Amino acid sequence: MKNIIKTATVALVIMLLSSVMTMAQEHNHTHKGDKSMEMSKTMDMKSIDKNNDGVVYECPMKCEAPSDKPGECSKCGMSLKKVSVKDARGSMNKGMKMDHGKMMNHDKDGKHMDMDMDHSKMENHVVHKGTIDVSKIDKNKDGKVFQDMMDWNVISDKAGDCPVCGMTLKEVTVEQAVKNLNKHGFKTK
């Protein structure tokens, strides 16, 4: 009787593990299929450039497909940059690539560039570390600063681009910058 229970238990565990592995493989296959469909849609620049002016607007971080109209990225909030259709197609082909579900950035020659940057080693007055006093960054005392919406510790009193990721800094109130920092684990005064 004990052998029958052991055998049944082992068989049940094997069936359970097989089911879990099968579901995981199906989920992974579906996820990859969604990504490839999304990429094929973004590669069809003719359908994006509806006014046929040869220009589209794309997120500098490639969060979403290019658009035919200027504006902000719905995912990261960056201002869309005006680029030619040819450049947009090239950046979609060479820029961001997926490697087992992980984003990898590639330079113009297709060589891998490390996305895991150590901000503490950067010598830049807009990249802040330690406890951040946003009111001191607001040198003109207008109550507004410019903050990166991905590298939250990149804050300046002047408009510009992030030296870490190239995103256009977004104008926010000092209070909102503090909230953003606290929300993403940074210490503030």
DSSP readout, 126-141? TB--SSB-HHHH-TT-
Distances (CA, A) of 162 to 25, 44, 47, 156: 38, 29, 31, 9
pLDDT of residue 54: 86
Pairing of strands 170-173, 144-147: antiparallel
* Integer Cα distance of 23 and 21 in angstroms: 5
Domain of 159 in residue numbering reads as 119-183
Mean pLDDT of the chain: 75
pLDDT of residue 45: 66
One domain, residues 130 and 153? yes
Last residue of a domain, one of 12, 27, 42: 42
Query: Is 189 part of a structural domain of the chain?
Result: no
Query: Is 188 part of a structural domain of the chain?
Result: no
pLDDT of residue 103: 39
One domain, residues 109 and 131? no
Last residue of a domain, one of 65, 85, 116: 116
127 and 90 in contact (C-beta within 8 Å)? no
pLDDT of residue 27: 55
Which residues of the chain, if any, have pLDDT below 70? 24-46, 89-124
Query: Is 4 part of a structural domain of the chain?
Result: yes
pLDDT of residue 78: 78
How many structural domains compose the chain? Answer: 3
pLDDT of residue 139: 92
* Integer Cα distance of 154 and 119 in angstroms: 9
